[in-house]
């Protein structure tokens, strides 16, 4: 069982929310890293831009912002939850 589930089962709402957000941020940053090829050195603007906790910025830099827009269009429940 994952840590977030354990926190939820024990009514540690703040911890579950924090840890879930942290996991999402790490996943987005992993997507950004995957777009960097071996031995590439990112330009300074990119390095500064991804040093953030802003989901919209990370989605854009990961190349997933259009996928999010599409998912929100075709999945009303997802869009409701995302909002």
Give me the residue spans of the domains in the chain: 26-82
Contact 74, 67 (CB under 8 A): no
Task: Please report, rounded to a whole number, the percentage of residues in the chain having pLDDT higher than 90.
Answer: 59
Q: What is the pTM of this model?
A: 0.79
Of 37 and 14, the one with more pLDDT:
14
Compute the average pLDDT of residues 4-17. 91
Contacts of 57 (CB under 8 A, 6+ apart): 49, 50
Exposed e or buried b per residue across 26-52, where buried means at least 16 C-beta atoms within 10 angstroms of its C-beta: eebbeebeeeeeeeeeeeeeeeebbee
Per the prediction, the chain carries an average pLDDT of: 90
Cα 63 from Cα 19, distance rounded (Å): 23
Residue 78 pLDDT greater than 80, yes or no: yes
Residue 39 confidence (pLDDT) = 86
Residue 61 confidence (pLDDT) = 92
Q: Tell me: the pLDDT tens digits for 28-53?
A: 999 998 988 888 887 888 889 999 99
């Amino acid at each position: 069982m994952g840590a977030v589930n354990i926190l939820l089962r024990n009514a540690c709402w703040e911890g579950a929310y924090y840890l879930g957000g942290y996991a999402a941020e790490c996943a987005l940053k992993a997507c950004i890293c995957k777009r960097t090829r071996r031995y590439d050195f990112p330009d300074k603007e990119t390095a500064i831009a991804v040093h953030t906790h802003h989901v919209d910025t990370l989605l854009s830099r990961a190349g997933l912002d259009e996928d999010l827009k599409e998912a929100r269009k075709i999945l009303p429940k997802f869009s409701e939850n995302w909002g």
